[in-house]
């Protein structure tokens, strides 16, 4: 009887341990699902399993105590009669303990099954969430992965001195909105909207005037860019896009966005000094008509990037801009006019009436030499050289940038040879220094720029719009900016300029002082 009881007790303990142990281990190893309600339920189930394990340990201790009591009985004692009530009690108690173990074992099995069903529900919920996310991602991918940005600028701009008969005060606003979409790993596109005069390609400013009339918002960019994986160095761009080459406003205003096509090839080098080379080409039509030959700009640029030291980087740029049939710009600026004399129309110089069917180009007044009605004295084939140094000063908020830009019109006065066009008036200079930045709240930036442009150095219609005049002038620019908040910049710019004193403009001119007080919010 003693051996039988020990055997039964051992089997009961073993069954309880074998059943409770794996279930508890399995439940403890499961990671709670993200859903809060399901996670709470699983936590309750875990607590219930721990309580059952505690009860099973108590039963195991009780069984061990009974085994010790049975082992203490005399070995020679005859087995008690089955009818004896006092002898039957331990058997009944052992049977009750076995039943309790079997009951607890069944409850653990049921609890494990319930936990499995709960986990299956969690898995189904996670699968539905993943399927929904995948479906939404596919829909967004079909439209493109859009990124939006832009800015609003308020400007107060007074003018003093120069040739003004009285001081001038004006207020201006600028609004720009950009949307860029990545359609695939190879294809990107987007558009921009901007304020400004529809006839002025070099300014997005809108002067607050015209009797409170509404101000226009226009398409400023609309482009597609292709970066083929089969030829990784290549980038193709078409439409109306941001500059694909590097330049200063000596040659092209920041607000101008060219139109046409551009190609770029770029290679990186694992070299301690020379890091990268890029070749850029572009073909940019600016006047298409069925009546005459089209006008366009084509050119290219070679870009080199150097790491001189761990704290000094050098970038070099050599570009050539060849303007084909630029003379229609004169007509667009009102330099070709029509007068009626004796019933016949004649093209003359000095009339102020724009010819019929001629596009009006606003912005900078032309300062290049005019040789004849509708004809520049110069052709424009510009060699543009830029060197830029970026210096780490050791202070993260105070980087230093130095750059020098030299431009020369290699075909100055090439249309006609007349004394009023001086072929030596063909060079321009831009020397700039910027210290600091405007990235984080509290950042400050200081800058100074010296600009000198001779009359035929560049095509006057498209360069820096804030100069005293686009060519035949010298200008100093001082700028200060403070990052007041994460997205708000306060700026001040002082431009002091006057016309160059040359044979064609011999009279010394007073300096024109132009100030710009800006508040810019970026989003």
Determine the Cα–Cα distance for residues 315 and 278; give it in Å rounded to an integer: 11
**Chain-centre distance for alpha carbon 422:** 45
**Chain-centre distance for alpha carbon 411:** 39
Determine the Cα–Cα distance for residues 463 and 230; give it in Å rounded to an integer: 37
* Percent of the chain whose pLDDT exceeds 70: 70
Nearest to 300 by CA among 263, 253, 259: 263
Q: What is the dihedral of CA 249, 254, 259, 261, to 10 degrees?
A: 70
pLDDT at 439: 95
Q: How confident is the model at residue 136 (pLDDT cuts 50, 70, 90)?
A: low
pLDDT at 360: 81
* CA dist list (Å): 277 to 280, 316, 363: 10, 10, 35
Nearest to 511 by CA among 499, 520, 523: 499
Summary count for the chain: helices (H), strands (E): 4, 21
Asked whether the predicted pLDDT for residue 179 surpasses 90, the reply is yes
Which uninterrupted H or E stretch holds 113? helix 85-143
Asked whether the predicted pLDDT for residue 69 surpasses 80, the reply is no
Asked whether the predicted pLDDT for residue 430 surpasses 90, the reply is yes
Which uninterrupted H or E stretch holds 261? strand 259-268
pLDDT at 355: 47
Please state which of the ranges 27-36, 64-73, 182-191 shows the lowest mean pLDDT: 27-36
pLDDT at 22: 45
Question: Please, are residues 176 and 149 in contact by the beta-carbon 8 Å criterion?
Answer: no
* List of residues 6+ apart from 191 with CB closer than 8 A: 178, 179, 219, 221, 222, 223
pLDDT at 36: 52
Please state which of the ranges 4-18, 64-78, 89-103, 418-432 shows the lowest mean pLDDT: 4-18
* CA dist list (Å): 467 to 249, 424, 443: 10, 22, 27
pTM of the model: 0.72
pLDDT at 415: 85
pLDDT at 76: 46
pLDDT at 165: 94
Nearest to 459 by CA among 286, 301, 251, 305: 251
* List of residues 6+ apart from 395 with CB closer than 8 A: none
pLDDT at 103: 67
> Is the backbone of residue 312 left (phi > 0), alpha (psi -120 to 50) or beta?
beta
Q: Which residue would you say has higher pLDDT here, 3 or 255?
A: 255
DSSP lists the bridge partners of residue 301 as 280, 319
Asked whether the predicted pLDDT for residue 350 surpasses 50, the reply is no
Nearest to 256 by CA among 209, 325, 182, 321: 321
pLDDT at 17: 42
pLDDT at 133: 67
pLDDT at 81: 53
| Residue pLDDT, tens place only, 190-239 | 999 999 999 999 999 999 999 999 999 999 999 999 999 999 999 999 99
pLDDT at 114: 64
| Residue pLDDT, tens place only, 361-414 | 888 889 999 988 889 999 999 999 999 999 999 999 999 999 999 999 999 999
Task: Compute the C-alpha angle 242/224/291, nearest 5°.
Answer: 80
pLDDT at 347: 41
Residues of 19-38 as b/e, b for ≥16 C-beta within 10 angstroms? bbeebbeebeeeeebeeeeb
**Mean pLDDT, all residues of the chain:** 83
Question: Please, are residues 314 and 306 in contact by the beta-carbon 8 Å criterion?
Answer: yes
Tell me what the mean pLDDT of segment 138-165 comes to: 86
* List of residues 6+ apart from 467 with CB closer than 8 A: 364, 451, 453, 473, 475, 495, 497
Q: Which residue would you say has higher pLDDT here, 479 or 374?
A: 479
Asked whether the predicted pLDDT for residue 424 surpasses 50, the reply is yes
């Amino acid at each position: 009887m003693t051996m039988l009881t020990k055997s039964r007790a051992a089997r009961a303990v073993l069954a309880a341990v074998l059943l409770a142990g794996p279930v508890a281990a399995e439940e403890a190893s499961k990671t709670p699902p993200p859903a809060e309600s399901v996670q709470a339920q699983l936590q309750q189930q875990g607590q219930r399993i721990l309580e059952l394990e505690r009860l099973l340990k108590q039963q195991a201790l009780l069984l061990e105590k009974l085994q010790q009591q049975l082992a203490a009985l005399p070995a020679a004692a005859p087995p008690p009669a089955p009818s004896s009530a006092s002898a039957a009690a331990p058997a009944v108690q052992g049977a009750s303990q076995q039943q309790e173990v079997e009951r607890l074992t069944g409850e653990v099995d049921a609890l494990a099954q319930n936990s499995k069903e709960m986990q299956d529900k969690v898995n189904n919920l996670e699968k539905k969430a993943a399927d929904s996310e995948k479906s939404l991602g596919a829909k967004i991918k079909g439209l493109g992965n859009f990124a939006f940005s832009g800015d609003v600028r308020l400007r107060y701009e007074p003018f003093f001195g120069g040739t003004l008969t009285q001081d001038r005060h004006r207020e201006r606003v600028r609004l720009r909105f950009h949307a860029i979409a990545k359609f695939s790993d190879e294809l990107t596109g987007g558009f921009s909207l901007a304020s400004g005069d529809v006839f002025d390609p070099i300014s997005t400013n809108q002067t607050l005037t015209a009797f409170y009339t509404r101000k226009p918002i226009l398409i400023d960019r609309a482009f597609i860019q292709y970066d083929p994986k089969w030829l990784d160095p290549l980038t193709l761009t078409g439409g109306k896009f941001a500059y694909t080459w590097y330049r200063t406003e000596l040659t092209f205003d920041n607000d101008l966005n060219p139109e046409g096509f551009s190609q770029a090839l770029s290679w990186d080098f694992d070299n301690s000094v020379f890091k990268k080379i890029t070749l850029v080409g572009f073909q940019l039509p600016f006047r298409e008509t069925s009546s005459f030959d089209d006008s366009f700009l084509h050119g290219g640029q070679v870009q080199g990037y150097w790491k001189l030291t761990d704290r000094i980087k050098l970038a070099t740029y050599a570009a050539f801009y060849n303007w084909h049939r630029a003379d229609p710009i004169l007509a667009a600026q009102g330099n070709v006019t029509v007068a009626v004399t004796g019933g016949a129309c004649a093209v003359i110089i000095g009339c102020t009436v724009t010819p019929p069917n001629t596009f009006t180009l606003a912005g900078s007044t032309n300062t290049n030499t005019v040789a004849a009605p509708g004809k520049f004295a110069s052709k424009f084939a510009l060699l543009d050289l830029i060197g830029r140094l970026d210096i780490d000063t050791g202070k993260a908020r105070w980087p230093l940038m130095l750059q020098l830009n030299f431009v020369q019109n290699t075909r100055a006065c090439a249309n006609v040879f007349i004394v009023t066009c001086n072929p030596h008036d063909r060079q321009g200079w831009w020397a700039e220094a910027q210290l600091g930045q405007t990235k984080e709240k509290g950042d400050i930036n200081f800058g100074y720029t010296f600009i000198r442009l001779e009359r035929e150095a560049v095509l006057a219609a498209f360069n820096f719009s804030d100069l005293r005049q686009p060519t035949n002038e010298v200008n100093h620019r001082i700028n200060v900016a403070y990052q007041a908040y994460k997205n708000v910049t306060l700026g001040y710019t002082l431009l002091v300029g006057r016309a160059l004193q040359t044979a064609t403009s011999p009279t010394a001119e007073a300096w024109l002082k132009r100030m710009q007080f800006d508040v810019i919010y970026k989003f």
